[in-house]
Structure 1
Amino acid sequence: MYKVVTPKSDAEFEAYFHFRWEHLRQPWNFPPGSEKDEYEQVAEHRIITNRKNEIVACGRVHLNTAEEAQIRHIAVHNDHMRKGLGKMVMVALENVAKDLGAVRAVTNSREISIDFFASCGFVVEREAPNELGMLKRQQMVKKFTENNTLVLHPKWCKALQETWSETIPITEHMGIKLYQYTGRTLETRASLNKNINIHGTMFAGSIFSLATLTGWGLIYLQLKERGLSGDIVLGDGDIHYHKPITMKPRAICNIETLSGKFAPLQKNKKARFELSVAILDNDTAVAEFEGVFWVLPPEVSDKE
């Protein structure tokens, strides 16, 4: 399972900067140290780690002005390309920028990265200064609006939210909302105030419900992607709690954790899926959910 993490210790930052140099500077024969600049102390840094806690992607954001954030140093390990990790980093950094009050983000992209940033909603505005005096770049801009919070298929996301509200009314009482969908990653959030216990933390049962609905939601959207339908039911769920939630409840499910085959549904047979959901308090990982879901095609669910 991939997790978005904020480096904190000296060892974590050392590994993070080495990863940045190895993937963004070494290929151009720049020496160690060239991956850093004067904004490191005022920037927000994010890394993505795998199950072995190895860094597989990274990125950074800082404010140029009170309204403008600059995103830099997006890198993904070659062995983990085409898994949506670049967009996963971008979503995390854009969320940080919005929380800081930015209304737009800029990035200076090399020619080889323009298509990637364009797929994230950025548009070329003008030519940017060369990087390290030799690498040609274009400045790209993205304005933050309510309409671009849901990166992909907003109609499906709206339908999912309405499905939750109509068939699982408790989601309204818990304040569970679909926050972001990239096609590979689904993020949901819940209201802490509506789920707070006498200790000032989120109820464990509410955390379990948030995780379950997030996994349910990713399968729902993946069915939409394939033009399929069916009744999604939870077969089994297991959650491990590590820390309490005291600030911002978030749940993230990445398609890389999803295992199972959709083919049986095309033959009107039920399909079994397993997935993982990461639970965070703001940017701190606090719990992991492992779930087994079944999708029953209409013909099967009508008979049972």
Structure 2
Amino acid sequence: MFRVVTPKTEEQLEAYFTFRWTYLRQPWNFPPGSEKDEYEQVAEHRMLVNGAGEIVACGRVHMNTAEEAQIRHIAVHANYHRRGLGQMILGALENVARELGAIRAVTNSRETSIDFFSSCGFAVEREAPNELGMLKRQQMVKKLTDLSSLILHPKWCKELQDTWTDTIPITEHMGIKLHQYSGKTLETRASLNKNINVHGTMFAGSIFSLATLTGWGLIYLQLKERQLSGDIVLGDGNIHYHKPVTMKPRAICNIESLSGKFTLVEKNKKSRFTLQVDILDDESPVAEFKGVYWVLPAGSPVDEGA
């Protein structure tokens, strides 16, 4: 499972800048230190780490003006390409930009990265100055005011949200909303005020419900990706709570944690899926949910064990 982290300690920052140099400067024989510029102190830095705490992707955002954010230095570990981690770190940086008040984001993309940024909603605006005097770049722009840009397949995501609202009305009262879907990662959020207990924190039952629905939702969207259908039911769920939720409840499920056989669904047979959902309070991990779900042929009776 992957999570977004803000490097804060001296050790974290050293690892973050070393990662940036390794993937963005060393291949062109630039010395250590060339990965830094004059904006480091005023920028927001983010890195993506795996379950072992190792950095697998990184990126940075800073404000050019009160309304424009510039995204730079996105890099993904060579062993983790084509897993959606570039989109994941970019999405995290765009969210930071929105929270800082930006209504548009710009990035100066190398020629090899134009297709990636285009697939994430950016468009080439003009030629940008060469990087370090030799690497040709294009300035690309994306509006951040259109929240649908957060979501891949908005029609499917709306269907999922409507399904929750129509069949599980309590989700509306809990303020559970689909926040982001990249094709690889699903993030949902809930209202703390609507789920607060006498201690001023989120009800444990509400956290469990948020996690359960997020896992259910990822399977729903993955079925859509494969043009499959079926009835999804929770077979078993276990959650470990580490800290209370006191600010911003978030649930994230990554396709890397999903295990199961869609081939059985294709054959109209029952199939078992397992996955993990991470619960965060803003950026702090607070709980992990591990669920077992069953996808049943549409319209079939639900077994007691499913």
TM range (shorter): over 0.9
Indicate the SS of the match to 1:300: coil
Q: Distance in 1 between matches of 2:41 and 2:213?
A: 38
Instruction: Provide the residue aligned with 1:218 in structure 2.
Output: 218
Instruction: Provide the residue aligned with 2:243 in structure 1.
Output: 243
Q: Distance in 1 between matches of 2:152 and 2:145?
A: 14
Instruction: Provide the residue aligned with 1:285 in structure 2.
Output: 285
Number of positions where the alignment pairs a residue of Structure 1 with one of Structure 2: 304
Q: Which residues in structure 2 correspond to 1:1-304 (within 5 Å)? A: 1-301=1-301
Q: Distance in 2 between matches of 1:37 and 1:278?
A: 34
Q: Is the 8 A contact 1:149 1:179 kept in 2?
A: no
State the Cα RMSD in Å: 1.3
Q: Is the 8 A contact 2:245 2:281 kept in 1?
A: yes
Moved over 2 A (4+): 145-151, 299-304
Q: Distance in 1 between matches of 2:197 and 2:105?
A: 37
Q: Distance in 1 between matches of 2:258 and 2:4?
A: 17
Paired AA for residue 269 in structure 1: K
Q: Which consecutive residues of structure 1, in runs of 5 or more, have no partner in the other structure?
A: none
Q: Distance in 2 between matches of 1:150 and 1:165?
A: 20
Q: Distance in 1 between matches of 2:146 and 2:203?
A: 29
Q: Distance in 2 between matches of 1:193 and 1:213?
A: 19
Instruction: Give CA-to-partner distance per residue, 1:211-250, whole Å, 9 cap, x none.
Output: 1100000000011111111111111111111221111111
Deviation at 1:147, TM superposition (A): 4.5
Instruction: Give CA-to-partner distance per residue, 1:118-161, whole Å, 9 cap, x none.
Output: 01100000011111111111000001133434331100000000
Q: Is the 8 A contact 1:234 1:292 kept in 2?
A: yes
Paired AA for residue 241 in structure 2: Y
Paired AA for residue 136 in structure 1: K
Indicate the SS of the match to 2:27: helix
Paired AA for residue 98 in structure 2: K
Q: Distance in 2 between matches of 1:155 and 1:299?
A: 23
Q: Distance in 2 between matches of 1:77 and 1:184?
A: 17
Q: Is the 8 A contact 1:250 1:280 kept in 2?
A: yes
Q: Distance in 2 between matches of 1:129 and 1:28?
A: 17
Q: Distance in 2 between matches of 1:256 and 1:302?
A: 27
| Cα distance, 1:302–1:14 mapped onto 2, change above 3 Å | closer
Q: Is the 8 A contact 2:71 2:107 kept in 1?
A: yes
Deviation at 1:195, TM superposition (A): 0.5
So what's the TM-score if we normalise by structure 1? Answer: 0.97
So what's the TM-score if we normalise by structure 2? Answer: 0.97
Deviation at 1:164, TM superposition (A): 0.2
Larger mean CA deviation between 169-178 and 230-239 belongs to: 230-239
Deviation at 1:96, TM superposition (A): 0.6
Q: Is the 8 A contact 1:177 1:190 kept in 2?
A: yes
Indicate the SS of the match to 2:234: strand
Deviation at 1:52, TM superposition (A): 1.2
Paired AA for residue 29 in structure 2: N
Deviation at 1:299, TM superposition (A): 4.9
| Cα distance, 1:303–1:81 mapped onto 2, change above 3 Å | closer
Q: Distance in 2 between matches of 1:136 and 1:148?
A: 31
Deviation at 1:275, TM superposition (A): 0.6
Q: Which consecutive residues of structure 2, in runs of 5 or more, have no partner in the other structure?
A: none
Q: Is the 8 A contact 1:272 1:295 kept in 2?
A: yes
| Cα distance, 1:202–1:303 mapped onto 2, change above 3 Å | closer
